[in-house]
Structure 1
């Protein structure tokens, strides 16, 4: 056992004892976070504009600070981008995380000297929780790979900016630097396919034990490793590969194919990082839920999803949430985001401690006819039937077909890239439709009421989603395929890849 593995166990025990102080007192921790945020930012421009000096409680906060999206705070961000200080948060940001928005174009999310350490601490603590629970430490004695964005930063008004994963790459702790791959030079390659090929060459003969990244891009890395070596399984290349760390998308649609490529079931840790802040991570292998980080410089509010588009929706604090109910998550952070709507939806499965599941995106749903089908429901329906039928799926997305040809009734159109397709696609579609009806009563009513016909599945050619994202310039990195859309922008682009219609 190496020195890192040896030291990690007592350090893990110490860290978990510290976490337990807020883990089981999360509501009180959140109240303290809110007051600290308000007090710290009272003299910023945003704080003065919204009378932070008068805010003493969550209800005061609701009265003075409306729900914001990026467009709402953009005038403040633009001042920060120009180099002005004390606008959203005291001083100037340490970084801007650059993200792409569908309505706002490029977004610059501030990361402060206070918020940056929380990103690193959360990633570290996720591993320490795993070590504490399982006692497994040998992954620390081999190589660790992080499939992430380029660490090369650009500057605006003296402030560095880049993709979140690239920013984090500049803050990997020194004690992991010798174990870490890819090398800095390879990590700086901007073109994703060139980068993956270079990572394959660099890691091919290494003792890889931990791999971290978004599942579809890890799959691409595995596919190219197997093609390069001629091996049948990843276990034949990396026999000591022990742990997979992922975030950004639901792992379940990718699990079967990934484990098929690996040749074994692997321990995994789900994380929930965002440019706006590190929200939660899986702290136990015994359950899939994620521990909400209630003491990490972020104050959370939760809007019931069925109220989100109301003029004055309910804004609940952590102590007011209900288990099993879908909420849109809203954040106020120690980087200067205030009542910021993240766009994600979650539901809590535990209150002591507070644990959640990510259920989708508030804008990624289908409600062309009032059915309000969400990502969690389509994934459950598809994956349940796929498991029963021994069908594996590479990727999929769903869109409404409001105006079908030949006088048909409207329907939901599913575009699926199969690893191994079902023997009878129409029968498979019927079962998926029935499963979706069981999950969504509104959808069931529309089917039984003959407003919609049952869903139709379009089987796509191999590599359809990769090819589409390549043409869109969105291959790799933090880019993800949306599971649901209320329009046909993505669906129309995928029609060229349909095997038969």
Structure 2
């Protein structure tokens, strides 16, 4: 007998799906309304006055008045807002600052406002409702749900609260889900990640877990501890576990490993959340890509990644983009970010409606020799190799080896295998062929004897975990970069003896 919650979920999912469909079918008009509202609302702010928002009537005016910025370029304004000044980037004071770890800027403080906060929670809710609308599955709503996240403890300064995004969002779990939510508040507040995961295992082992979510690499640690503690597969411990919700990294390299840990297949939903905004979520189980959130107080611009570092690259709006091109995503938001480079590169898989995949980071690529290999390409290569080898992996990253002891330079793949391939050379050959097929520049460098084919350096079990622990980034929302244009990660892996 379905519960009241399960019965009510279906009509609610239908209503929300219709609302989404309405703006998704009118993308250009929807984005134009968002743009006009953002400019009007922020015209009297310090940033709005400095950039003559009252004189901005269209996108061309915006391009002339507001240059593309990264965090460093916006930092002066952010620091004024952090100090408690009002009406700096957006009207009033931010409700929160989400603290993130910048790769070049140290800690970043990304504003979240009264207007932007609801979009962070509604998008995740809508992703689940779209799943219910499509599949009719509501059984999971009566079980226990867990999200592996950062601590919800917030600090307050100048009337504004500071914390990790996942910790901030933890304060907004709807009342109807509070009884179903794990871990407990006390466990969620544990800072040490390994201690926290042990506590989560203890709390959940005897529960009816139906939904589990988090970044795949950290959920994997949780699953392995469940198996070690119980002696059973995760799917046997949690017999009603039916939905895995994830974000932050591509799930495909982990899929085979997860199905082995769980012991069966479960449905999954991909999310694209960030401190700067909740950009997209998977709205269909059998469609590639995530639905770009065009009606969430975010105005998007796109620059072709190949031209991004040129002077005055062309800034496109939603009506101008094409499927399959690598774009740098630029956002202006009702949190007060303006022509802000999030740092992600995306590709559109569909323009009716607009769905995207995250293809990498504009700063995370290998182009030591002009090959410009991106995250999507190495992930596709590893997927191709895993499909035919029977192997599984826990984690991987790739770095250039510019000065090898002998022979030509090459790309060095650091891979922590769950199950090693029976034939490692065949695995390497598939990786190499896939990468050459996807990236003609890389292929030309191999054929031209500028590079030699890639090499694999096997990482010890839990080696990446040890690396993350050594740099103070174990757990939470932290991720291993798929690619680096230098050997900072590689050098640490060798220094600490993490390579076999």
Which category of TM-score, normalised to the shorter sequence, fits these structures? over 0.9
Q: Whole-Å Cα distance in 1 between the matches of residues 428 and 303 of structure 2?
A: 34
Aligned to 2:226: 225
Aligned to 2:315: 315
Q: Whole-Å Cα distance in 1 between the matches of residues 441 and 298 of structure 2?
A: 35
1:401 aligns with 2:401: yes
Q: Residue deviations 1:214-250, cap 9 Å, x none?
A: 001111001111111122x111110000100000010
Q: Whole-Å Cα distance in 2 between the matches of residues 14 and 375 of structure 1?
A: 37
Q: Is 2:81–2:88's contact at 8 Å kept on the other side of the alignment?
A: yes
DSSP-derived class of the 2:395 partner: strand
Q: What is the CA-CA distance between 1:295 and the residue it aligns to?
A: 0.5
Q: What is the CA-CA distance between 1:286 and the residue it aligns to?
A: 1.4
1:492 aligns with 2:495: no
Q: Is 1:460–1:497's contact at 8 Å kept on the other side of the alignment?
A: no
Q: What is the CA-CA distance between 1:497 and the residue it aligns to?
A: 4.1
Q: Kindly tell me the number of residue pairs found equivalent between the two proteins.
A: 498
Aligned to 2:381: 381
Structure 2 unaligned regions, length at least 5: none
Q: Is 1:398–1:485's contact at 8 Å kept on the other side of the alignment?
A: yes
Q: Whole-Å Cα distance in 2 between the matches of residues 190 and 141 of structure 1?
A: 29
Q: Whole-Å Cα distance in 2 between the matches of residues 349 and 288 of structure 1?
A: 7
Q: Is 2:463–2:499's contact at 8 Å kept on the other side of the alignment?
A: no
- Cα-Cα RMSD: 0.9
1:28-47 mapped onto 2 (5 Å cutoff): 28-47=29-48
Aligned to 1:119: 120
Q: Whole-Å Cα distance in 2 between the matches of residues 469 and 302 of structure 1?
A: 32
Q: Residue deviations 1:191-229, cap 9 Å, x none?
A: 111110000001110000001100011110011111111
Q: Residue deviations 1:104-150, cap 9 Å, x none?
A: 11100000000000111101100000000000001001111111111
Structure 1 unaligned regions, length at least 5: none
Aligned to 2:345: 345
Q: What is the CA-CA distance between 1:386 and the residue it aligns to?
A: 1.8
Q: Is 2:94–2:160's contact at 8 Å kept on the other side of the alignment?
A: yes
Q: Whole-Å Cα distance in 2 between the matches of residues 193 and 105 of structure 1?
A: 24
Q: Whole-Å Cα distance in 2 between the matches of residues 65 and 445 of structure 1?
A: 39
Q: Whole-Å Cα distance in 2 between the matches of residues 345 and 497 of structure 1?
A: 33
Q: Whole-Å Cα distance in 1 between the matches of residues 185 and 340 of structure 2?
A: 34
Aligned to 1:297: 297
Q: Whole-Å Cα distance in 2 between the matches of residues 255 and 453 of structure 1?
A: 30
Q: What is the CA-CA distance between 1:393 and the residue it aligns to?
A: 1.0
Q: Is 1:305–1:328's contact at 8 Å kept on the other side of the alignment?
A: yes
1:213 aligns with 2:207: no
Q: Whole-Å Cα distance in 2 between the matches of residues 6 and 249 of structure 1?
A: 33
DSSP-derived class of the 2:486 partner: coil
Aligned to 2:176: 175
DSSP-derived class of the 2:344 partner: strand
287-296 or 105-114, which deviates more: 287-296
Aligned to 2:250: 250
TM-score, normalization by structure 1: 0.98
Aligned to 2:82: 81
Aligned to 1:49: 50
Q: Whole-Å Cα distance in 1 between the matches of residues 360 and 157 of structure 2?
A: 33
1:362-441 mapped onto 2 (5 Å cutoff): 362-406=362-406, 408-441=407-440
Q: What is the CA-CA distance between 1:281 and the residue it aligns to?
A: 0.2
421-430 or 330-339, which deviates more: 421-430
1:460 aligns with 2:459: yes
Q: Is 2:151–2:167's contact at 8 Å kept on the other side of the alignment?
A: yes
Q: Whole-Å Cα distance in 2 between the matches of residues 399 and 282 of structure 1?
A: 30
Aligned to 1:261: 261
DSSP-derived class of the 2:436 partner: helix
Q: Whole-Å Cα distance in 2 between the matches of residues 371 and 471 of structure 1?
A: 31
Aligned to 2:187: 186
Q: Is 2:493–2:499's contact at 8 Å kept on the other side of the alignment?
A: no
DSSP-derived class of the 1:34 partner: helix
Q: Whole-Å Cα distance in 1 between the matches of residues 21 and 237 of structure 2?
A: 39
Q: Is 2:98–2:275's contact at 8 Å kept on the other side of the alignment?
A: yes
Aligned to 2:71: 70
DSSP-derived class of the 2:460 partner: coil
154-163 or 170-179, which deviates more: 154-163
Q: Whole-Å Cα distance in 2 between the matches of residues 481 and 76 of structure 1?
A: 30
Aligned to 1:8: 9
389-398 or 491-500, which deviates more: 491-500
Aligned to 1:334: 334
1:154 aligns with 2:155: yes
Q: Whole-Å Cα distance in 1 between the matches of residues 12 and 289 of structure 2?
A: 24
DSSP-derived class of the 1:380 partner: helix
DSSP-derived class of the 1:5 partner: helix
DSSP-derived class of the 2:218 partner: helix
Q: Whole-Å Cα distance in 1 between the matches of residues 418 and 230 of structure 2?
A: 21
TM-score, normalization by structure 2: 0.98
Q: Residue deviations 1:4-50, cap 9 Å, x none?
A: 11100000111111111101001110011000000000000000000
Aligned to 2:480: 481
Q: Is 1:458–1:498's contact at 8 Å kept on the other side of the alignment?
A: no
Q: Whole-Å Cα distance in 2 between the matches of residues 494 and 25 of structure 1?
A: 49
Q: Whole-Å Cα distance in 2 between the matches of residues 104 and 63 of structure 1?
A: 27
1:142 aligns with 2:140: no
DSSP-derived class of the 2:200 partner: helix
Q: Whole-Å Cα distance in 2 between the matches of residues 486 and 68 of structure 1?
A: 22
